[in-house]
A and B are shown apart, each in its own frame.
Chain A
């Protein structure tokens, strides 16, 4: 019998046996030495006859056949000539829809790789690439706006289950290759290609889709994917030694993105450090890595204890920006948790102002304020607000001053401006009550800040409803200073006249105008209502147009409109009473110029 005939005989028998569930017969055939030569030479013909049974249906209906297929493939992997069989296995495994097949083929692929120790580099790279593309094709769960404990529900999301299953196969697959080149096994100074390859691979695994899952640890339970993540980070420590080295690459990536310079002249550069390449180590992966290490404390105790917290903070700012700019809420959450983690390590007033030279601070505040205003999950918005305060107070006095001076160029939202004014008040209290230098919160510099925060953008015509938060905070600040600083330590009294012109007087005028306007609207509404009751007595669509904050309120019922207007009128009351209180305080101040 020639080899081709033997081969077709073998594939026919295997196909028949598996189709009819005669697994013992199938196994006896594969162990028959008669076919050894043809398995060795013709593996690419034999493999497909078995892999076609690697489908979900087989798992459900005849699991013993599926087990048998796995045994057969392992046997084929052992007996085949590795180069040819590897190509066939890789081709078979490349089916993004079929996880069952993909996972079942990992074992025979691993067996073959061990048979190729000399030419491992190239073949391992192929296998890792194949796995990478399978992993990146996995869909991720959608935004469910889950808060607190609700997040545990994610574990039953079909996407999460699928990802967990796939990672469950990949982690044991790469373990032996990691151990082979682990620094714990054999201290080595030199670069090693297999090690670099595996580092890139594991970092890739940390990016998509892991970034989109809940990797947090809850008191008693932690998800299966969390323990796999922990194992991946252990691998990374074995391979890289110092997990913190990737912070330097984050810096490179940051400056590279900023300069639009053409990088062509160094492509194909053989000396190039592979970790510098975005296609090999995506910046999202680096961000997730430091979220896991610094916020989740995975492998933190293994990291060198020499790095300065300020350095880690500066390097992580960019990573935080990368995370919170995402629209997927679990990615945003990781960014916020990372921000918290790096801020906690710094003491108040310890961050020197000069690090503000980096444009990353502007980006950080900009994206953080987007979370504060636009994020759909309430707890994220709140936590972003707290992060902003914590961030501001980590700086020294000059840093706080410079931040306060520049922040309004980035955020132009009344709520945040109001919040910032409250922070300014705390900074002044801080400066007044401590030995810390008052320099930046007195005299002209204080006035510069006050003139930014305590003014009306359009004078008396400013929309008071839209800017109520800012106005109330500004009035509170002035009142506070007038009461607290009777001796004019801050020099505020020298500028009271200016404040009166820029804020207090136009505000008085503005209240008069706005109140008249809203009262008119209220009267229109009442007239309309009287008309309606007369006709059919039911609530109908109201036709009086109401504009608040420059935007027309659409299709509100009559009652809603009345509520909106009443609440606006209440705000005016509030502003007015505060305003008269401020005027009283100023008038009673002996230092009024």
Chain B
């Protein structure tokens, strides 16, 4: 009896002839049949807040869930993985007002485990869905509709920048139809105000993935508020919008999800930043960036093969550049320490030796410096700079000797003078 019932029910619940396979792998996992065409051509973009009514049934016809019974449309953010896969994929294909039936295989629903108590294991689910409307994604902490995102290009990966992370963005700001700014910059999240980035925009960027491009609508309280911004001709209490692309960003070093390749990538990101600052003679900032390079590479574990070679090369460059920055800032002790670290990794690093020579010179140790420069010349006899430095060292050594001679000469002269006044030096020494 029971078997018969199921059979008849299954006939009723099988997808109609016009059903289309919309699963990305075309494995028949999600079949969609349009019951009523929607209006317009637009479908909701990733992240949209979508409002739907739906009725869910099992293949035997049992209704297991219905938003209509709860008396309120169901709403969710599309493409965020908050709902079963079939929904994230299926609803993204629907237009406003459209009614469609999705037949979802367990792999796109609750799988082998099912979802007790309602969904049995390995169940195919049938949903009749009506898309009522959608809005942008509300990114404001207070959910007050003040920061709304409309995604244009989906980003890669899964992470978003933390507070304090350096982000690299391209942005176009609009007030009405007027573009008031268009620029590319990088800044640490949380310090946006120093760079003319308003609070709301920072908030929004925190939710971006790498490579993502979106339109952000800001209410004035999240933008330039009651003051407006005269330089950009933004009047008081003006709502504005930005088109923002997150080109790259720094990841938290302590993040558990970073594997070796990503750590290398992060180190390179900061190396580049450091070099830019260095070229612009911002040595203190460059220093900060190179320190971050080191921090991502410090721990040996997790690197292997090519990555390990790359890690070592980067680490060497990091220490060498740190040394150079310290030299520019006249911090010779630090510079020497960094050279020591570099030379520990590669004892024959010409740059390492040369920079340590410079640091030693700066510390007033021309003899030590000379040893370093001579080592450079030995490796590369054509290195004119090093040869010049040796000449400089010799000069310094000579000067130093001369000065010492003078000091000691005077000293002996003084002692002799005093001895003559006081008596024998032996006696004085004993008395004192």
A residues near B, CB below 8 A? 182-184, 186-189, 237, 241-242, 252, 255-256, 258-259, 261, 263, 265-266, 269, 271-273, 275-276, 297, 300-302, 304-311, 345-347, 350, 353-357, 359, 361-362, 398, 402-403, 405-406, 443-445, 448, 451-452
Contacts and interface: CB of A to CB of B under 8 A. Distances in A.
12 contacts: A187-B71, A189-B72, A241-B67, A261-B190, A271-B142, A304-B74, A306-B74, A307-B83, A311-B80, A355-B158, A398-B259, A444-B304
B117 A448 contact: no
Contacts of B143: 252, 272-273, 275-276
Contact of B71 (A241, A266, A304, A311): A241
A345 B121 CA distance: 11
A265 B144 contact: no
The SS class assigned to the B binding surface is loop
B111 A347 contact: yes
Given A305-B119, A306-B83, A311-B83, 15 more contacts: A183-B72, A242-B72, A252-B141, A263-B141, A273-B144, A301-B118, A304-B70, A306-B54, A306-B56, A307-B84, A350-B111, A356-B255, A357-B159, A362-B254, A398-B259
A282 to B, nearest CB: 17
Interface string B322-337: 0000000000000000
Nearest to A314: B81
B60 interface: no
A357 B255 contact: yes
B173 interface: no
Contacts of A276: 141-143
A40 B164 CA distance: 63
A302 B65 CA distance: 8
A189 B73 CA distance: 7
B367 interface: no
A448 B255 CA distance: 18
A309 B83 CA distance: 8
A380 B67 CA distance: 38
B118 A345 contact: no
B305 A272 contact: no
A304 B65 contact: yes
Contacts of B112: 347
Q: Which of A273, A304, A350 has the most CB of B within 10 A?
A: A304
B115 A309 contact: yes
A305 B256 contact: no
B345 interface: no
Interface string B252-263: 101111010000
A266 B256 contact: no
Contacts of B81: 308, 310-311
Contacts of A444: 303-305
A345 B113 contact: yes
A117 to B, nearest CB: 21
Given A256-B141, A306-B83, A301 B117 contact: yes
By Cβ-Cβ distance, the 10 closest A-B pairs, closest first, are A183-B71, A444-B304, A241-B72, A271-B144, A273-B143, A187-B71, A357-B257, A356-B257, A448-B301, A354-B158
B128 interface: no
Nearest to B72: A241
A275 B110 CA distance: 29
Contacts of B190: 261
B365 interface: no
A242 B146 CA distance: 24
A357 B190 CA distance: 20
Contacts of B85: 308
Interface string B159-181: 10001000000000000000000
Contact of A183 (B70, B119, B141): B70
Contacts of A182: 71
